[in-house]
Amino acid sequence: MTLSPKNSLEDWLEVIRDQKMPIFEQTVHHIVSISDDDLAPASALANVVLQDASLTARLLKLSNSIVYNPSATAISTVTRAVIVLGFDAVRDMCLTLTLVDTLLQGPAKVRLESELAHAMHAATQARALAAERGDKSPEEVFIATLLYRIGELAFWCFGNEHCERVEQLAKQPGITLETAQERVLGFRLSQLSRRLAHEWSLTDLLQEAIDHPTRQDARIQTIMLGHQVARCAEQQGWNSEEMERLVRRTARLIDASESDARKLLQEKAAIAATMAHDCGAPTAARLIPLPDEYQSLIAEPDAESEAPPAGVETPPPVAPLPPDPRLQLSILRELNSAIESARCDFNVIMELVLEGLYRGVGMDRVIFALTTPDKRLIRAKYALGLPEEAAIDAFKFARPTTGTNILFETLDLKLPRLVTLAERERDPRLTPEDLVAILGIAPFMIAPITINQQSIGFFLADRGLSQRPLDPDSFEDFKHFVQQANLGLTLAQQRHHR
C-alpha cells in the first residue's frame, strides 16, 4: 500500500496488518495466550520458546545474566529457567527479546533505538514501583508499560518515508513531535497505540491504561509514572527539578522516604540499561540516561563476558541442531535433580526429556504422545519442530481393527525401535499413512514411556527435515533419555502411593 500524508488511521492499521509485525506473530501470541490461562502449566511456556532456536539461545543467555539470576545458578535449559526464575520472568524476557528483534530490523534505526531504550527503562521502573507497593502482579505492570507506546513502535518500524517527514517537521521551532504527527499523518500515534492494543487483544491492564491514562488507579498511575521518569531522565536529566517532583510522587506511591525513592529510581535505571545490553540492544542500553554514579556501568563488553554459558549456544533456526554431548549431560543432571525432588512433576520430566532430545541429541522433530487408559487411542501432548499447530492436532491415531502398526506395537511390546527406510520398504503397513502425511518418508526412533510395566505413551524423534541420518549413537542417546523418564515417573508414582 502506498500512503500519502494524512492518510486515515484505518489505512495505517492496514499497513501494519500487511507487514505482520513480528512481535505479535506466532511466538508472542502463544506466550500471551498462555500467560492469560491460569491453568496452563509452566511447561507450556517452555514448549513455546523451544520452537524458536534463536529465542531459546538468547533467553538462556539472559537467564544467566546478573539482572535475572543474581545467585549465578547455572541455567542451561528453558524448563529450568521457568522453574528457577518463574513463569512471569521468563514470559517477560520472551516479550522483551522479540520486541528487540522487531525494532532493530526497522528502517528508522535511530528513532527505534531511542523508543526501545525508553520502553525498557519505563517498564523496569514501573515493575519496581509495583513490587514496592505490593502489587498483585508486577510482571503484568511491566508488560503493560513496555507495550504502552506500541503504536509509536509500529510506526517507526514501518513508516518508511513518513518517519523522516515527522522527524523533520518536529525539528522546527515550536512544533512538538505530537503536532508533527498530526500534520503529517492526520492523527497522533497514541491513537494508533489504542487501536492496536484492542485489535491485538493485549492485556486488560494495557488497554485500560491506554484508554484511561489519568484514572486514579494505582496500577495505571504506576505505568504512567514509569514513563514519566524515563522521559524526564531523557529530556531534563537526573538532577532536574522535574525529576525531584517525580521522586516525591514516587515516595508517596510506595510509602518511602524521598531518599529511598531516589535511590530506587536510580538503581532501576542502571538495571534497565544492563537488561537492554543483555537483550542484544547495546545502543539502546547506552541511550538510557544514568545518574553520575552509574555512568561506567554500560561499557564495551569483553569477549569473555559475551560468551554464553555451557550448553546455551544454538545455531540459527534455519540450521539443524547438531548433537551436543555437554548439553545432554547437563540436561540429564537436571532430569536427575527433578526425579529426586519430593515434588517430582510429570510435566517437568517430560519437558526436560523433550528438550534433551531436541537440543541435546540434535533431533529435527520430537513428539511425546499419550495413550488413553484403554490403549485404543494415542495423541500428541507436546511436540517440538512441527511447524504448525494443526500438525500436532493431527497426531491422533486409533488402534487398527486388524493387525497393528509401529505405534501400537511399541506400546504393546514396550520396546524402543529405530525404524529405518529399509524396514519401512519391507513392511509398508508398519507406518500409518497419517503418520507419513505428518513426518514424510524418513527414518525415526520411537520408545515407550512405561510406569510399573504399563505403557502410557511414547517419544518419537526424527531428522527428516534436515535429511540427516539416524546413527546408532543417537539411538543410544535417545533410549537413555527415555529410560530416565521411565525411571523418574515410576519413582514419582511410588512416592505418591506411600
Q: Report whether pLDDT(18) > 80.
A: no
Per-residue pLDDT tens digits for 420-443: 998 888 888 889 988 988 888 899
Query: How far from chain centre, in Å, is Cα 456?
Result: 30
Mean pLDDT of 62-77: 80
Which domains does the chain show, CATH number per domain? 9-306 (1.10.3210.10), 325-497 (3.30.450.40)
Q: Which residues contact 365 (CB under 8 A, 6 or more apart)?
A: 383, 384, 385, 386, 439, 461, 462, 464, 465
- The residue with greater pLDDT, 476 or 106, is 476
H runs (alpha helix) in 86-160: 87-104, 109-132, 138-146, 150-158
- 3-state helix vs strand vs coil in the chain, percent to 5: 60, 10, 30
Tell me what pLDDT residue 1 has. 46
> Which uninterrupted H or E stretch holds 489?
helix 472-497
Of 25-34, 142-151, 369-378, which range is least confident? 25-34
Mean pLDDT of 80-90: 82
Q: Report whether pLDDT(313) > 50.
A: no
Q: Report whether pLDDT(342) > 60.
A: yes
Per-residue pLDDT tens digits for 161-199: 888 888 889 889 989 888 999 998 889 999 999 988 888
Mean pLDDT of 281-309: 68
Mean pLDDT of 307-318: 42
Of 62-71, 233-242, 255-264, which range is least confident? 62-71
Q: Are residues 27 and 48 in contact, defined by beta-carbon separation less than 8 angstroms?
A: yes
The whole-model pTM stands at 0.73
DSSP 190-230: HHHHHHHHHHTT--HHHHHHHH-TT---HHHHHHHHHHHHH
445 by DSSP, 3-state: which?
A: strand
**Residue 315 pLDDT grade (very low, low, confident, very high; cuts 50, 70, 90):** very low
Hey, what amino acid is at 125? Q
Report the percentage of the chain scoring pLDDT > 90. Answer: 40
Q: Report whether pLDDT(312) > 50.
A: no
Tell me what pLDDT residue 343 has. 65
| Sheet with 365-371: strands ordered across | 396-398, 377-384, 365-371, 454-462, 444-451, 417-419
Mean pLDDT of 119-140: 93
Q: Report whether pLDDT(325) > 80.
A: yes
Q: Report whether pLDDT(110) > 90.
A: no
Q: Report whether pLDDT(316) > 50.
A: no
Per-residue pLDDT tens digits for 444-473: 999 999 988 889 999 999 999 899 999 999
The span from the CA of 379 to the CA of 398, in Å, is 9
- pLDDT, mean over the chain: 84
Q: Report whether pLDDT(4) > 60.
A: no
The span from the CA of 145 to the CA of 193, in Å, is 12
Q: Report whether pLDDT(54) > 90.
A: no
Mean pLDDT of 31-48: 68
Mean pLDDT of 113-132: 94
Q: Report whether pLDDT(5) > 70.
A: no
Q: Report whether pLDDT(106) > 90.
A: no
The span from the CA of 182 to the CA of 197, in Å, is 20
- Burial class (CB within 10 angstroms; exposed 0-12, middle 13-18, buried 19+) of 375: middle
Of 118-127, 158-167, 211-220, which range is least confident? 158-167
- Name the range with the highest mean pLDDT among 13-22, 235-244, 300-309, 327-336: 235-244
Mean pLDDT of 97-113: 74
Tell me what pLDDT residue 349 has. 86
Q: Are residues 279 and 65 in contact, defined by beta-carbon separation less than 8 angstroms?
A: no
Q: Report whether pLDDT(27) > 90.
A: no
Per-residue pLDDT tens digits for 259-272: 999 999 999 999 99
Nearest Cα neighbor of 157 from 179, 189, 188, 201 is 189
Per-residue pLDDT tens digits for 398-419: 999 888 899 999 999 999 999 9
